[in-house]
């Protein structure tokens, strides 16, 4: 390739940048020179050339469709959030209605099944000493219970967990229903699960997955904790 040819390519590139910069800096150029618009042709995906105005209209239509899809998605998310807030509000009300520890835990279990779509709900309360206080559907565990060792990392993290568990963990949480439980949500009750664990199971493998946010689970854990803490034995 000759030096002249290389220079020509460089000059052409410089010219394109100059034109681009000028048009970007002067967006009203085509308004002042409408005759140019009728002469410009832009390649179209169909293989046919179209005028610049037609191309701009098509681009605007595509942008509109994208914005419309985003708006629909935002509306759906807002509706889902509203429904979730309503369910959490209802959970708070029924927890307050219960007068005893057992009543409040039964209410929590029923709400999670009926309004949150849980197939399995297990509750575990942790206490240093053996206790005969009626905890309804919950199971009392001592802090040194060997079964809790399987959840040491979960309790150490002190945050809600969603996903899958090993067979021994599922059996500990759900007993005979372990084989049917395909995905779970674990929620600590109290700071780092000091008071216990709430385990929610689903027969659907994708019901509780990594993409599911845990913020609402944390709120549920806080509500249940606040409802039962005053009624726990000292």
116-132 burial by CB neighbour count: b if 16+ within 10 A, else e? bebbbbbbbbbbeeeee
Does residue 184 have a pLDDT over 80?
yes
Tell me the mean pLDDT in the region 168-181.
95
Residue range 98-231, CATH number: 3.30.450.40
Percent of the chain scoring above 70 in pLDDT? 83
Angle at 219 between CA 174 and CA 173, to 5 degrees: 10
Return the higher-pLDDT residue of 107 and 213.
107
Does residue 48 have a pLDDT over 70?
no
The whole-number pLDDT of residue 45 equals 58
Tell me the mean pLDDT in the region 175-183.
94
Q: What is the pLDDT of residues 194-226, one digit of tens each?
A: 999 999 999 998 888 776 778 889 999 999 999
Does residue 51 have a pLDDT over 80?
no
The whole-number pLDDT of residue 4 equals 46
In the structure encoding, which two tokens stand for residue 208, read together? 């509780």
Decide: 168 and 150 in contact? Cβ < 8 Å: yes
The whole-number pLDDT of residue 1 equals 47
The whole-number pLDDT of residue 16 equals 81
Q: Which of 158, 157, 211, 214 is nearest to 185 (CA)?
A: 214
pLDDT band with cut points at 50, 70 and 90 for residue 157: very high
Does residue 109 have a pLDDT over 80?
yes
Tell me the pLDDT of the chain averaged across its residues.
85
In the structure encoding, which two tokens stand for residue 226, read together? 């606040």
How far is it, in rounded angstroms, from Cα 43 to Cα 81? 44
Does residue 188 have a pLDDT over 80?
yes
Is the pTM of the predicted complex or chain greater than 0.85? Answer: no
């Amino acid at each position: 390739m000759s030096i002249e040819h290389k220079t020509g390519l460089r000059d052409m590139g410089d010219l394109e940048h100059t034109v681009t910069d000028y048009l970007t800096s002067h967006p009203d150029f085509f308004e002042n020179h409408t005759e140019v618009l009728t002469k410009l042709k832009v390649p179209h995906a169909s293989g046919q050339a179209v005028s610049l105005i037609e191309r701009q209209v098509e681009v605007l239509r595509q942008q509109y469709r994208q914005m419309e899809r985003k708006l629909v998605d935002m509306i759906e998310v807002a509706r889902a959030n509203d429904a979730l807030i309503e369910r959490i509000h209802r959970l708070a009300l029924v927890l307050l209605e219960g007068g005893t520890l057992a009543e409040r835990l039964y209410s929590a279990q029923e709400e999670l099944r009926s309004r949150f779509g849980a197939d399995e709900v297990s509750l575990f309360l942790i206490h240093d000493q053996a206790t005969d206080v009626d905890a309804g559907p919950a199971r009392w565990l001592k802090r040194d219970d060997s079964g809790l060792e399987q959840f040491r990392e979960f309790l150490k993290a002190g945050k809600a967990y969603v996903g899958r568990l090993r067979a021994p963990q599922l059996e500990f949480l759900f007993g005979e229903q372990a084989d049917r439980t395909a995905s779970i949500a674990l929620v600590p009750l109290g700071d780092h699960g000091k008071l216990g664990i709430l385990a929610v199971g689903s027969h659907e493998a994708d019901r509780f997955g990594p993409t599911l946010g845990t913020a609402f689970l944390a709120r549920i854990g806080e509500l249940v904790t606040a409802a039962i803490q005053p009624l726990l034995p000292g």
